[in-house]
Amino acid sequence: MKRRRKEKVCSFDLEKWLRQMINGATGFKLGESRTIRNPAGNIIGSYGEGGRVEHFTGAEIGGMESVARFSLYPGVSMETLTQHHWKQAVIAHIMLGIEAEHGNPRQLRPEKILGVAFTHDLSEILCSDVNYHVKNKDQKSKVAHKRKDLAMHHRALKDLRPEWRAYFPAPPDVNDEFPETERKFWEACELAGYCLFMLEEIALGNICDQHIVHFYDDVNGYVVRLIAMGNELESVSEMLSSEILPKLVCVAFAVADAKKRLLPAP
């Protein structure tokens, strides 16, 4: 049987670099992190009200490491929620930098957006990863998932001191307190992340032909929306021209081959 070829991509590739940065990283679970144990494992004390930040961060990391994204697609590279949060923070940081170089005409607030990037999917610790298309299938689904994500986000913060919970707002896609410009910017960051991940999976060639075509069609849909956003946000235009569109061209042959293999036998 003829082996599927893996497509070559450009010399610098943001998604590849992000994966290299997190390669080998492992999460941890603290278990009974609010207790103090001696070397034999016996409980000898408690942190009481102290140590709540360590307990919160340890528990959240443990929870985020247990959630695998894109799990519906056999063969796809495993990306935990921890890894996704870090990657989205890097993408947002780059795009905010580009906006700053152009004078930040939309008056985006980096401290708010970067703060959200590290915690934006905390709700998934409690309700697991939900496919983007399932969430946005129709207006009814969109409203229902928005309400659920908002409630789960606040529930995930329950171990943090009450007076500090406001420092971790729900993400712009479910939080109407963010202005429209920041909600649009955040959506662009997320769509860019989806595109980069899916295009890399196509290039790696580890997923089946049906999913290659599915990912490619999804990316094309996201690109249409990003192009419209690029008229207002310089960072989106640059991310498209430097990262997404070149890679979209690079994987075109792999997608064409996959479509041929999916045709019914004559």
Q: What is the pLDDT of residues 41-65, one digit of tens each?
A: 554 444 444 455 555 555 555 556 6
Highest mean pLDDT among 50-64, 136-150, 242-256: 242-256
Q: For residue 118, with 0-12 CB atoms within 10 Å meaning exposed, 13-18 middle and 19 or more buried, which class applies?
A: middle
Q: Is the pLDDT of residue 238 over 70?
A: yes
Q: What is the pLDDT of residue 266?
A: 75
Q: Which comes out higher in pLDDT, residue 186 or 83?
A: 186
In angstroms, the CA 101 to CA 152 distance is: 36
Contacts of 252 (CB under 8 A, 6+ apart): none
Return the closest-CA partner of residue 99 out of 216, 217, 182: 182
pLDDT over 70, % of the chain? 72
Q: Is the pLDDT of residue 247 over 70?
A: yes
Q: Is the pLDDT of residue 24 over 70?
A: no
How much is the average pLDDT of 135-152?
75
Tally Cβ neighbours within 10 Å of residue 107. 10
CATH numbers and ranges of domains, the chain: 14-262 (1.10.3210.10)
Q: Is the pLDDT of residue 145 over 80?
A: no
DSSP three-state, residue 250: helix
Q: Which residues pair with 98 in a beta bridge?
A: none
In angstroms, the CA 224 to CA 222 distance is: 5
